[in-house]
Amino acid sequence: VKVMVNDKIMDRSEAVIDIEDRGYQFGDGVYEVIRIYDGVMFTGDEHLERFYSSAEKIQITVPFQKEELLDLMNQLIKENNVKDGSVYMQLTRGASPRNHVFPSKDIKPVLTAYTKEVARPVESLENGVAAMIADDIRWLRCDIKSLNLLPNLLAKQAATEQGCYEAILHRDGLVTEGSSSNAYIVVDGKIKTHPATNLILNGITRQVLARICQNNNIPFVEEAFTLDELRNADEIFVTSTTSEVMPVVKLDGTEVGDGNPGELTRKLQTLFVEEFESVKKA
């Protein structure tokens, strides 16, 4: 298996990361996960755009031009012969003696990337999944795709222990997003989701979905909704790069609607598949 460290593609066994890498010690860095369908990155440009933007928000400069980085990722995908999977990339502020203060400018950021095969979660997409509600205990810059994921991990672990696929988070009764996804309700044929503020990560899948809705005259309302609205919604779904459009059919043990994926959720799933299929062919 080949991985990338800075601009070098090498065997995974040859990759070396310093024990004082700030990503390792502080979670001082950002990351991206990009889906690969049939050997081709889906929405690679959008993910890279967000990667650069996340890095900039924490004052790290990506040591490549976007086209260079995209080329390197494509090389890595090719070398590993990935068909359906994902590429993970992260950038840290680099290695230097542990100190909260940023290191001097001559310390270079460290970029790492690897690929893996990941099957589409077809069974869950077909049948839907269970979710639980949890407190959003994260910081106020959730728009940054930061390596600091402890609150997300705690929420996901709690969900898993309850037999749930996802934890849907709320702040003072207003739903923000999932622990690793964006969250939506459908009420009277309208989709509602939290606006892209500092309180959520503006998912690339969310952005694709917004565009799909616009093109198909499906009302897509970016407005925060309450836990009451969530509990009484006609349909619930979450989206992410790996989960796509995932129906939530059970919330805190209670069936959503009739307990099956909703009609509009189904339609969005179809439109989403059409979207990545058309990109593959292009």
Footprint of ligand PMP (CB under 6 A):
33, 152, 177, 180-182, 201, 203-206, 239-241
CB 112 to ligand PMP: min, Å:
17
CB of 263 to ligand PMP, least distance (A): 23
Closer to ligand PMP by CB, 21 or 177: give it: 177
- Per DSSP, the three-state class of 31 is strand
Give 80 or 272: the residue with its C-beta nearer to ligand PMP.
Answer: 272
Smaller CB separation from ligand PMP, 128 or 203? 203
Rounded-to-integer distance, Cα 32 and Cα 64, Å = 15
Q: Which is nearer to ligand PMP, 34 or 60 (CB)?
A: 34
Residue holding tokens 């459908």?
A: 186
Closest distance between ligand PMP and the C-beta of residue 259, in Å? 25
Q: Kindly report the CA angle at 144 between 146 and 175, in degrees rounded to 5?
A: 105
CB 255 within 8 A of CB 128: no
Q: Helices (H), strands (E): how many in the chain?
A: 8, 15
CB 203 within 8 A of CB 239: yes
Give the whole-angstrom CA distance, residue 93 versus residue 88.
17
Q: Whole-number minimum distance, CB 79 to ligand PMP, in Å?
A: 24
Q: Of these residues, 8, 78, 116, 145, which one is catalytic?
A: 145
**Please, what is the minimum distance in Å from the beta carbon of residue 132 to ligand PMP?**
16
Is 281 in the active site? no
**CB-nearer residue toward ligand PMP: 192 or 206:** 206
Beta strands in the chain (DSSP E): 2-5, 8-11, 29-37, 40-41, 85-92, 110-117, 129-135, 166-171, 174-178, 182-187, 190-193, 220-222, 235-240, 244-251, 254-255
- Listed in sequence order, the residues at least 6 apart from 180 whose beta carbon sits closer than 8 Å to its beta carbon are 152, 156, 166, 240
Bridge-based pairing state of the strands 235-240 and 110-117: unpaired
Catalytic residues: 145
